[in-house]
A and B are shown apart, each in its own frame.
Chain A
Amino acid sequence: MTANTEKTLKGDKFAKDAASDKDSGCDETTTKLSRSTFVAEVPIKLRACLEIIGFRKRKEIVELGQGEAVIGRMRGCTIRLSSNNVSRRHARVIFRNEEYHIEDLGSTNGTYVNGIRVAKCALRSNDQIDVGGVKMLFTEERILEKV
């Protein structure tokens, strides 16, 4: 037991609990921690990825930033897919109002989310995207970012 240990067991109910703790072989009282231990300044950041599945037998994970990510066949696209089924600028992923959205850019073969052809769609984790036959998995998670 340390010097800053504080007795937290008060009153009949707690006294009974203490007795019960003693009976169970737990004879030490609980150490009280200061509130600052729990309240730390840790901003939460959203991390989102597109996992390209099985395109030319490769598996690639692309981390999405908060700018625009264009998916297409053309050089200069953020995610370049060299397939004739993919339009030159096929679709884009944008971050707006704290969520990711995919938008079709007038592609020939369309952009699908979970099997539905979409013009636009707010994305949720584990959405399956299909761009000209190339399958991708969208995932996002909240991560703690050190200050």
Chain B
Amino acid sequence: MTNAGEVKPLVTFWGTRGSISTPGRITEKYGGNTSCITVQHQDTHIILDAGTGIRNLGIELADEHKETQNTPSLHLFLSHTHWDHIQGLPFFQLAYLKDVKLTIYGSPQKEVFLAAILKGQMDSEYFPVGMATFPADISIQEISEDVIQVGEVTIDWQEQVYHPGGSVRYRLRVNGKKIVYATDVELNRIFKPHPGSGEHRAAARDYLEFVSNADLLIADGQYTEEEYLSKVGWGHSSIDLLVKTAYEAQVKQLAIFHHDPQHSDTFLDQLWRKNRSKYRSAYKKMEVFWAREGLTLAI
């Protein structure tokens, strides 16, 4: 979108569901595909996670490729390798085009190499085509630098420990805007109601610094406060705590993401109706909304 010559980065939600894909009529508004988001700025395409939502992204990019013959250079940043963040990769159409270049980045802190994990899900026991047969030029990198430059987008990252197996949050800076992707983290274990240990305080400080003043924060809000009580240790955050924390960090727009598979459109709409006035009065300067599949924002 152009405004007075300015090209704004576009953020598109291709998959917003957590844990497992949930197709069907009751999830068609907010979407049933698992985690996948793109940040596009001019010719730079950054993909955040490869849940089942990446399949639709692949279809759209393949259509564009057919029309324009442009071969995009794609950069996929994985928060972690749980199924709902990698399961769409074998169905990503662009991986089957030989002139496409795809670089995949992930945490260096896995006990097993990232490449082995990704290739493992395409082992013949699980999938008919092996990853080695992808015609695209695919490079898998465990992140070694503190800051990565992709086109005009500068990306830094932090490990998140409060998720089983760990996860990575990413911060993208482009055009003076800051977009943070911080999913699959249990904020309730960092921001305890009573002062926690030194480790908790450090984790809280790191989180707040990382997301502070984000123009858009895409963050895990899988549970209601009531649901969270029976999900302690599962690695996900409760919505009210997320909203409060984001506001403290002076986030401008908060996209609540990684919807629980049990949360139907009706459930999310009712939750929104219940909380809308509270959010609007208590957190006036922050826009809060449910991330929704098929939504593109200009930041």
Contacts and interface: CB of A to CB of B under 8 A. Distances in A.
Interface of A: 97, 99, 101, 104, 106, 113, 115-122, 124
Interface string B1-42: 111000010101000000000000000110000000000000
Nearest to A119: B298
B2 A106 contact: yes
Nearest to B293: A122
A97 B60 CA distance: 9
B3 A106 contact: yes
B296 A120 contact: yes
Nearest to B289: A116
Nearest to B60: A97
B148 interface: no
A79 B12 CA distance: 26
In terms of DSSP, what is the predominant structure of the interface of chain A?
A: strand
Nearest to B56: A97
Interface of B: 1-3, 8, 10, 12, 28-29, 59-60, 287, 289, 292-298
Contact of B296 (A99, A106, A119, A124): A119
B217 to A, nearest CB: 15
Contacts of A120: 10, 12, 295-296
A97 B3 CA distance: 28
Contacts of B10: 119-120
10 contacts: A104-B1, A106-B2, A113-B295, A116-B287, A119-B10, A119-B296, A119-B297, A120-B295, A124-B28, A124-B29
Given A97-B59, A116-B289, A122 B1 contact: no
